[in-house]
C-alpha cells in the first residue's frame, strides 16, 4: 500500500476500523494516516461507530477470581508511593477530600431547606412547629454526592433525600445548557430511568425538586436533552448518584 492514493484510503478505512486488515495493510494504512493527520478525525468517528459492536454481545459476569488475579498482578507492580503519584493526588486532593464534597453539599442543603422551610411556614403559619418539623427533616435527611463528568466536570452536586422519598437535587458550577438543550433529571427505579424534571441553571447554584418520589430509587442522574425533555435518555449522564451508596450525612 506504499504510495497509497486517496482512493485506496477510502477503500480500506472501514476494514481498518473493524480490525479486518492484514498486519501489513494495517501498518501501511497507519503510515498513510500519520502523513495525513487531517484524516485522523474521520477515522476516529468511523472507529467510534465500529466500536459500538463491542457493546452488542450478551452480557457475561466476570468471576470474582478474575478480579482478584487482575488486581493482585497490578498491585504487585505498584511502587512504594511514588512522588508522581503523590503529586497527582495533591492536585486532585480537593476532589478526593470527602469533607470538600460534604461542605459544598451541606451549604446547598441548607439553602434548599431554607426555601422549603419558608414554604412550610406560609402553609401552616406556625413558625415554631415548622422549625420543629424542619429539624425532623434534617435528622431524616440523607445526602448523596453525584459523580460529574463531561460538560459537568468541575460541578458539585448532591441529591438530598427525605425519609418520605422526596428528593432535591442541588448543584453548583454547572455550565448553562447548550442552545436548544436542557438539563433533565432521571430517577432509576427497577432498572428503568423515569423522567423527573427539567432545569436550567441560572447563577452559580441551583436547587431543584426531583419530580418523582421513589422510595426504592436506585439512582438519580442528569443528562443534557433537547429542549422540552425526552421520554428516554438520549445521551450519557453527566451527573450520577447511586442512592444505595452510603450517605454523606
Of 87, 100, 108, nearest to 205 by C-alpha is: 108
Q: In the window 124-163, what residues touch other proteins (CB under 8 A)?
A: 145, 147-149, 153
User: Could you give the strand order of the β-sheet that contains 142-145, starting from the edge strand earlier in sequence?
Assistant: 142-145, 156-161, 167-172, 205-210
Q: In the window 21-40, what residues touch other proteins (CB under 8 A)?
A: 21-22, 25
Applying CB under 8 A, among 6, 27, 34, 51 the residue interacting with other proteins is 51
Distance between CA 162 and CA 213 in Å, rounded? 10
Taking the complex as a whole, the smallest distance from the CB of residue 176 to other proteins amounts, in Å, to 19
Residue 227 is a binding residue for other proteins (CB under 8 A): no
- Determine whether 238 is exposed, middle or buried from the number of CB atoms within 10 Å of its CB (0-12, 13-18, 19+): buried
Applying CB under 8 A, among 5, 31, 34, 67 the residue interacting with other proteins is 67
Q: Which is nearer to other proteins, 121 or 230 (CB)?
A: 230
Applying CB under 8 A, among 2, 7, 38, 79 the residue interacting with other proteins is 79
Other Cβ atoms less than 10 A from the Cβ of 31: the count is: 13
CA 73 from chain center: how many Å? Answer: 29
DSSP annotation of 22 = -
Residue 5 is a binding residue for other proteins (CB under 8 A): no
Taking the complex as a whole, the smallest distance from the CB of residue 232 to other proteins amounts, in Å, to 7
Do 175 and 78 meet the contact criterion of CB atoms below 8 Å apart? no
Residue 239 is a binding residue for other proteins (CB under 8 A): no
Q: In the window 87-106, what residues touch other proteins (CB under 8 A)?
A: 87-89, 92, 95-98, 101
CA 238 from chain center: how many Å? Answer: 4
- Determine whether 89 is exposed, middle or buried from the number of CB atoms within 10 Å of its CB (0-12, 13-18, 19+): exposed
Of 186, 189, 184, 195, nearest to 215 by C-alpha is: 189
Which residues contact residue 136 at a Cβ distance below 8 angstroms, ignoring those fewer than 6 apart? none
Residue 110 is a binding residue for other proteins (CB under 8 A): no
Taking the complex as a whole, the smallest distance from the CB of residue 55 to other proteins amounts, in Å, to 5
Residue 112 is a binding residue for other proteins (CB under 8 A): no
Q: Which is nearer to other proteins, 77 or 123 (CB)?
A: 77
How many residues sit in the footprint of other proteins (CB under 8 A)? Answer: 78
Q: Which is nearer to other proteins, 41 or 125 (CB)?
A: 41
Residue 202 is a binding residue for other proteins (CB under 8 A): no
Applying CB under 8 A, among 49, 114, 119, 227 the residue interacting with other proteins is 49
Residue 52 is a binding residue for other proteins (CB under 8 A): yes
Amino acid at each position: 500500500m506504499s504510495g497509497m492514493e486517496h482512493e485506496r484510503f477510502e477503500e480500506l478505512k472501514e476494514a481498518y476500523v473493524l480490525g479486518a486488515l492484514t498486519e501489513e495493510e494495517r501498518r501501511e494504512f497507519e503510515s498513510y494516516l500519520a502523513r495525513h493527520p487531517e484524516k485522523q478525525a474521520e477515522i476516529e468517528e468511523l472507529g467510534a461507530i465500529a466500536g459500538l459492536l463491542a457493546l452488542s454481545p450478551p452480557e457475561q459476569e466476570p468471576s470474582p477470581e478474575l478480579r482478584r488475579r487482575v488486581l493482585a498482578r497490578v498491585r504487585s507492580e505498584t511502587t512504594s508511593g511514588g512522588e508522581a503519584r503523590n503529586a497527582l493526588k495533591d492536585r486532585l486532593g480537593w476532589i478526593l477530600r470527602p469533607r470538600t464534597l460534604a461542605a459544598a453539599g451541606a451549604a446547598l442543603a441548607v439553602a434548599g431547606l431554607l426555601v422549603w422551610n419558608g414554604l412550610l411556614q406560609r402553609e401552616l403559619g406556625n413558625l415554631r412547629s415548622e422549625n420543629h418539623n424542619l429539624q425532623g427533616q434534617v435528622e431524616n435527611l440523607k445526602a448523596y454526592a453525584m459523580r460529574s463528568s463531561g460538560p459537568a466536570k468541575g460541578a458539585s452536586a448532591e441529591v438530598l433525600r427525605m425519609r418520605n422519598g422526596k428528593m432535591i437535587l442541588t448543584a453548583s458550577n454547572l455550565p448553562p445548557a447548550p442552545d436548544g438543550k436542557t438539563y433533565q433529571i432521571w430517577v432509576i427505579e427497577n432498572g428503568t430511568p423515569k423522567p423527573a424534571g427539567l432545569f436550567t441553571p441560572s447563577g452559580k447554584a441551583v436547587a431543584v425538586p426531583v419530580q418523582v418520589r421513589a422510595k426504592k430509587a436506585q439512582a438519580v442522574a442528569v443528562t443534557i436533552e433537547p429542549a422540552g425533555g425526552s421520554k428516554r435518555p438520549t445521551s450519557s449522564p453527566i451527573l450520577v448518584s447511586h442512592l444505595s451508596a452510603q450517605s454523606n450525612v
